[in-house]
Structure formats: C-alpha cells, structure tokens
Amino acid sequence: MAGRIPEEFVNEVRDSVNIVDVISQYVSLEKRGKDYVGLCPFHQEKTPSFSVSPDKQFFYCFGCHRGGNVFKFIMEKEDLTFPESVKQVADFAGISLPASYKEQPVKLNPLMEMHKEAADFYHQILMTTKIGERGLEYARSRQLDDETLKHFQVGYAPDRGDLLLTYLREQGFEDSLLSQSGLFVQSKDGRLFDRFRDRLMFPMTDEAGHPVAFSGRRLSDNKEEAKYLNSPETSVFNKSNLLFHFAEAKKHARKEGHLVLFEGHMDVISAYKAGVKTGIASMGTSLTEQQVYMIRRITKNVIINYDGDDPGLHAAERAVGLFKQAGNFNLGIVVLPEKMDPDEYVKQYGAEHYQGAIKGAISTTDFFLYRLKQKYNLNNEREKVNYLAEAIQEIAGLNPVEQDLYVNRLSEESGVSVEALKVNLSRARRRNRRVEQHTNYQLPEEPAPMPEMVQPESPLKLKAQKAQQRLLYAYIYSDEARKYLLGNGFVFPEASYEKLAKLWLTYIETHEKVSIKEFLDFIPDELQSIIVSTDIMELPGTITLEELEAQVRVLNLCKIDEEIDQHMQAIAAAKSRGDQLSVLRETQAILQLRQLKRQEEAAGDG
C-alpha cells in the first residue's frame, strides 16, 4: 500500500513524529484526560468532537466519523496521495526520502495547477522582465522589497489581452478548462481574454497554500476601473471560505498565540513587514461565519485591527458580534489614531510603534465604551445620562471583577459616584436575570434543533454495528477468538468489516511484527476510520466463548429483524395495490422468520 516508498521508511517516519504535533498545525488542540480534543477540520461544529490520541497515534471525529493515523490526516486535509503524505510528514520530521525512491510531482486539481502556473508567471514578469518594470516601480513606491514580494508571490499582469492566455495554452491547458478558471473573460463570440490587465497581482491561497484566486490592484489613474479587481468564484474558490495569508499565518500563530485580523491584504503585507507574521484578511468582503470557524480551529485569541475610520470601526463592531456569537474567543481590538489604516500607520510611525499597538489591543468592552462615547455629547447632561445607562447595561454582562473595574472608571470619567452607578448596575443585572429566566422558560416550546451531522442510525443498525465492532476487536486482538470465528465459518454482515478481517489475516501472515499503527497503512483509506473507531473504544481484548456466541447471536437476530421489516414493507405495498396473494405470501415469510427468531433466542437462554 505504500507504493514505491519502502515500508521500513514509512514506519520510521510514522514513529518519528507525534500526531498531536502534526495536527496542531491545523487544529487548536486542548488536553482532555489522556487525549486531545478540538474542532473538527473536516466539518463545521459548535462543540469539539475531534479527538487525537497520542498513545495510539490516531485521530477520530465522533461527529463525521473520519479517523486514521497521521498519514491519513494529511491525505484528507491536503488532498494528497499516500506517498505524498509520507513525504510531507517526513519533511516535518526532518527525515530525507530514501535514495531509491523516485519522488513523483504532486498532482493538483487542474484549476489549482493553472493558478499556480499563473502566479509563477505573473511573479516572474514582475521580478525579471522589462514589461514588468511598471509593476515593480509601483511596488517600490509602496515600499515592497524583494523579500516581501517573494513571500507573498506578488506579480504583475501587463496591459495585454492575451498574454496569460497564450502562456497557459502553451502549458497544455484546454480552452474548456481556461474558461472555468476565472482568469479570463469571454466575449459574446466565445473568445477568451485575460481578466487582469495592468494590475499588481496578489495570489489568494487556500488553507494548504495553493493559489486559487487573485486580487489585482489597478495601476492606472482611470477611476472608471475598480481599484481592486478580484477573481470570480469558481469550483476551487469561494470567497466566504478563504482568508488571505491564512496558510502562513497559522504556522506563526502556534508560536505567537494569536491571529491578527485585517480588512485587506495590503494591511496584512504592511504588518508582515513590521514583524507581525500572523496577519490574515477576508477577501475584500465582510467577515463570514465560515471564516470565523476557520480561525476558531487554530486559536481562540484574535486581535482585530481594521481601519481607524468610521467604516472600519463599524466593520470591527460587526466582526466582534460574529466572534461573540461563535463563542469562546478572547478578543482584542486595535483602534489606530487619526483614522489611519494599518498600512498608513506603519509607514508613519514605524514597525516598533505598530508592534506596540498590537500588544496594547483593548478589550471588547473598552471598544464598546469607546464607540459609545462617539455616539453622545458628554458635555450635555441629558446625553451623559443616556451614555451611562447604555454603558452600565453593557457592564452588567461582565464578571464581578470586571464590573468593579469599569464602574470605578466610569465614576472617575463622569463625576458620578460609584454608589449611584452600582445602584443602576444592580437594576441592570436584575433585568438581565429576568430576560434570561423568560428565555429559558420559553426554550421548551421551541422546536428541537437539528443535529449538526446526519440523522442517527436506527437502533437496530447501531446494535448490529456495536456487535460487529466487538467481534472485529476480538478478531484482531485475540488469536483464540479469531480461530473460533474462522472455524465456524463466521462472515461479517457488512462487506467493509469482512474485508478488514481478510486484510488482517493477510497482514499477520506477511509481517513478523504486527501493530494497528502499521496495519492502517496496509489497508484502503476508506476502511481506516472503522479500525480507529473500533480501537478507540478500548474494549477488553480477552473475550469468552460465551460472549463470542452472544455477539454472533445479536447479529443473527438483527438480520432476522431486518428481513421482517423488509417483508412488512412488502405487505404495505401489496395492500396498496390490492394484491392479497402477495400479502399472504409475505405474512407466511414473517411467521417463519419469527419462529426462527424464537429458536435463536431460546438457544441464547439455554
């Protein structure tokens, strides 16, 4: 199963890394008991159901039921083949591939491959050609040095209608694919033209770092053209699910302990130059719930640094609301002076001052009070009273220590006594409790929320699956149980379980040392989650003959019940069409099955 990579090398790589360290690059994990938990990177959820076992070196999600070892995780998350995932984990461990292995190039989705070619093409034009000097001159005027241009793979699209088109055709891309890429516009007669012209090009990458879209900054003074032109959405690009610089920023977030959220990619770039490596930005749109979830998987600590003008502050308020709605975030807000954006601030005050501004981010309560002050004329007594009423209402939702701090501060700022403010605070707390009690009282009348994942399996199917899991666990860990089942001609009802049983036989016959960790690399990807979900239950390895027979009997009874259900459905269908002969035949079959069920149950009682 390991392809051309020697099995010994696969084992060496697997044993050289801790799966917790690898998965922590993608998911913020917290220790819970002997395992680690976090939000699943494969489906959206509100409470963590994704578990990583350092002892077993497995991951498993109890929500979407994906599971496997470190190679399986990388394959799923990065959309790689098994050899590619081994190479990536080996790179993480600092292990070189064996000389005998001929590395195969990673095969990307064709549209991703096209965007990679386009990004390289635009970058080379900017950095090495005469036609790119116009773009490079503009980049220098924005104080973008070579290291920054290279890190962000910035490029230039010349003012030509077919330059990229001609290049990609030469690389073998067909027009049918080119038209789906978003890199071109199509005329009424079907001809393709480069979408981006005379623009500084900023590639937008997915979570794995693959270019999937572009944002082009206009260089001309023609204000009839959009200042920034973004790629349209395609099969590989959804702007709601993409954050600029996310693939790189999350690596630094593990060290820095937070991410910094900006409005635009130029702010991210300026912050990067100033030493803030954890910057991310939405794709020229308001923050979305999907993007909040992406961030939450990496860290709960987020600093919001939007523009200092009114639209930027309003956008920051909306972002705070989204983060609070998602819950479990520790937020900081940077409010820059003189209505500056981060790019302007860095240029005027320098990197050191900007890093200080990030470290000095204020709390969401401070930000709320700051915005509230702008809403009222505090020199007017009536407006001051309204300001204090709103401020107290906000403070009432804080913990007692924070309430005390802010009440004292309000007293100093307003000249109103602490005692008077605390009276209003007590009233606000009582109002909050009444609202909460009323809300809780109404909750039972609300319809039950739909589960995040698929509807649960029927009790019958769950019962059969549990029995199969127990038997498979015994089949793997107990030689005696395996011999008994094989000797009695037992066959697992589900084809996937039966295939695993046969693969285990092959595996133990061809390997001197056997382990579940190595077995996962021996089996097809789609079967790994069954092994992991079975093994993670930690059932007792020893199993008595009586328990084996009981579990087999459970499967037999489940099979009989399933057949009875099928005949009941056939009776209902026959009645609807008036077919009495079929009703009689199906009824006789049910009677025979019920007799067989009684015999099976009696054997168990005996």
Domain count, the chain: 5
Q: What would the two tokens of residue 415 be?
A: 């000249």
* Residue 99 Cα distances to 9, 93, 336, angstroms: 11, 17, 54
In this predicted structure, what is the pLDDT of residue 158?
96
* Residue 374 Cα distances to 115, 171, 406, 588, angstroms: 45, 57, 18, 82
Q: What are the residues whose beta carbons fall under 8 Å from the beta carbon of 494, sequence distance 6 or more? A: 465, 468
Cβ contact 598:553 at 8 Å: no
Q: What would the two tokens of residue 328 be?
A: 């479990």
Report if residue 496 sits inside a domain. Answer: yes
> How far does Cα 200 stand from its chain's mean position?
30
The answer on 308 and 433 residing in a single domain is no
In this predicted structure, what is the pLDDT of residue 4?
64
Q: What would the two tokens of residue 29 be?
A: 């994990």
The answer on 258 and 231 residing in a single domain is no
Q: What would the two tokens of residue 547 be?
A: 């328990």
Q: Which of 371, 397, 432 is the last residue of a domain?
A: 371
Per DSSP (E only), the strands in 119-233 are: 155-157, 184-186, 192-194, 199-205, 211-218, 228-230
In this predicted structure, what is the pLDDT of residue 444?
44
Q: What CA–CA distance (Å, rounded) separates 461 from 442?
A: 35
Strand, coil or helix: 301: strand
The answer on 143 and 205 residing in a single domain is yes
The answer on 598 and 463 residing in a single domain is yes
Mean pLDDT, each 10-residue run in order, the chain (606 residues): 69 89 89 91 88 90 89 87 86 79 68 96 97 96 94 96 96 95 93 96 92 95 90 92 93 89 93 95 84 90 94 93 89 94 92 95 94 90 92 91 93 91 90 70 41 48 82 86 88 89 88 83 83 72 77 82 84 85 84 79 63
Report if residue 447 sits inside a domain. Answer: no
In this predicted structure, what is the pLDDT of residue 105?
59
- Report the candidate in 476, 480, 473, 482 with the shortest Cα–Cα distance to residue 539: 473
> How far does Cα 191 stand from its chain's mean position?
38
Q: What CA–CA distance (Å, rounded) separates 283 from 204?
A: 8
Q: What CA–CA distance (Å, rounded) separates 341 from 264?
A: 10
The answer on 381 and 267 residing in a single domain is no
Q: Which of 37, 60, 93 is the last residue of a domain?
A: 93
In this predicted structure, what is the pLDDT of residue 46?
83
- Report the candidate in 216, 118, 123 with the shortest Cα–Cα distance to residue 173: 118
SS (H, E, C) 548-597: HHHHHHHHHHHHHHHHHHHHHHHHHHHHHCCCHHHHHHHHHHHHHHHHHH
Report if residue 445 sits inside a domain. Answer: no
Report if residue 453 sits inside a domain. Answer: no
Q: What are the residues whose beta carbons fall under 8 Å from the beta carbon of 512, sequence distance 6 or more? A: none
The Cβ-side half-sphere exposure at 325, using a 13 Å CA radius, reads 12
pLDDT tens-digit readout, 454-483 = 344 556 677 788 888 888 888 888 888 889
Q: Which of 344, 371, 398 is the last residue of a domain?
A: 371
In this predicted structure, what is the pLDDT of residue 556?
80
The answer on 576 and 464 residing in a single domain is yes
The answer on 545 and 530 residing in a single domain is yes
In this predicted structure, what is the pLDDT of residue 150?
96
In this predicted structure, what is the pLDDT of residue 321?
92
The answer on 180 and 153 residing in a single domain is yes
The answer on 157 and 64 residing in a single domain is no
Matching residue, tokens 């909306």:
318
Q: What CA–CA distance (Å, rounded) separates 326 from 274?
A: 30
> How far does Cα 376 stand from its chain's mean position?
41
In this predicted structure, what is the pLDDT of residue 3?
45
Report if residue 534 sits inside a domain. Answer: yes
The answer on 353 and 256 residing in a single domain is yes
Report if residue 451 sits inside a domain. Answer: no
Report if residue 446 sits inside a domain. Answer: no
CATH code for position 14: 3.90.580.10
- 150-163 as b/e, with b when 16 or more CB fall inside 10 Å? eebbbbbbbeebeb
Q: What CA–CA distance (Å, rounded) separates 26 from 332?
A: 22
Cβ contact 144:269 at 8 Å: yes
pLDDT tens-digit readout, 23-32 = 988 888 999 9
Question: Strands 35-38 and 243-244, how do they pair?
Answer: unpaired
CATH code for position 183: 3.90.980.10
Strand, coil or helix: 347: helix
- Residue 330's φ and ψ, nearest 5 degrees, are -110, 105
The answer on 66 and 16 residing in a single domain is yes
Domain housing 62? 7-93
The answer on 416 and 355 residing in a single domain is no
Whole-angstrom distance between the N-terminal and C-terminal Cα of the chain? 46
Q: What CA–CA distance (Å, rounded) separates 320 from 316?
A: 6
> How far does Cα 340 stand from its chain's mean position?
33
Report if residue 99 sits inside a domain. Answer: no
- Report the candidate in 235, 216, 237, 236 with the shortest Cα–Cα distance to residue 227: 216
Name residue 301's beta-bridge partners: 330
